[in-house]
Amino acid sequence: MNELRNNAVSEVAIDEASAGQRLDNFLARTLKGVPKSHLYRIVRSGEVRVNGRRTGPDARLAEGDRVRIPPIRTAQPANPASLTAGAARAGERLVVLYEDDDLIALDKSAGVAVHGGSGIAHGVIERLRAARPQARFLELVHRLDRETSGVLLVAKKRAALTALHAAWRAGEVDKRYLVLARGRWRDAKRVVKLAVHRYTTREGERRVRVEDEGQHAQTTFRRVTVWPERDPPLALLEAELHTGRTHQIRVHLTHLGFPLAGDDKYGDFAWNRELAKAGLKRMFLHAARLALAHPRTGEALAFASPLPPDLAGFVASLGAGVTEAARG
């Protein structure tokens, strides 16, 4: 480990590339290797100040702001690239599908968190920043659950991040997932509009349930392949997200009576154990396609991620199903 020492108070001026960031995110990028819990502590204690004033970790920084940073002593890996190398050894992958001056499209494998926290030292964004210390700006555009594989976008400029967030809010991003559900699915296409409410359990876990007074949530499911004669019947579906609520696909499927294979929060736990014995060791939820306009040029972009080997292998083990094309 290379020990980093900052034995004096420093003051950093916010430039255009850093403007608009939250204070905690700015500190995480500036003080690489410092645990987030420590960053929050020095902010809340007033050791970090913006323009001479105490502020909260969620405060947005503006160009020209001056951030006071107290003495810091921490450690950082001697070889930042080892973060991504370690991921590869563990069977995790962060494949670059596309990159230009504004954004990066990654193919994330299951088991990789998109950001650190909750006992996870380094997520996708921390690994990417460590592997590219020269990059002035790298921020997640959206999130995928740790066990969800597939297409993930990272912005390389503040302007790109702002434009992409605006496109997300306006419903201008086409987001398609592949899911395996239990049940005899009959519809070629089914539009589901069920409001969802987010809540926290007594154990502190974040959960979601269908509730009339909740937030609007809409998913369109399209039948890809079905195995109606299996016990239980199964269906491979494409899920198009029109809104981006937490756990939306999982909650919608369970509410409809078609639990998602391997879902450890909302699914059928006894069935999940049987699936694990049959070879499916994780949730069958894959971000297969993302299409949108380029945030700067307006060019049409589409990124695709094929089913990873574990999910593709499980589908193959089911045998020949009835595909949508075969139905005519």
Residues carrying an active site annotation: 145
What is the sign of the dihedral through the CA atoms of 113, 116, 122 and 125? Answer: positive
CA distances from 110 to 83, 88, 162, 286 (A): 17, 12, 27, 9
Residue with tokens 């496109």: 167
What is the sign of the dihedral through the CA atoms of 81, 120, 309 and 276? Answer: positive
* Pair 256, 278: CB distance under 8 Å: no
Copy the structure tokens of residue 24. Answer: 């905690």
First to last CA, the chain: 61
**What's the chain's length in residues?**
328
The number of C-alpha atoms within 13 Å of 139 and in the hemisphere containing its C-beta is: 22
- What's phi and psi for 307, nearest 5 deg? -55, 130
Q: How many CB atoms lie within 10 A of CB 189?
A: 11
Q: How many CB atoms lie within 10 A of CB 297?
A: 10
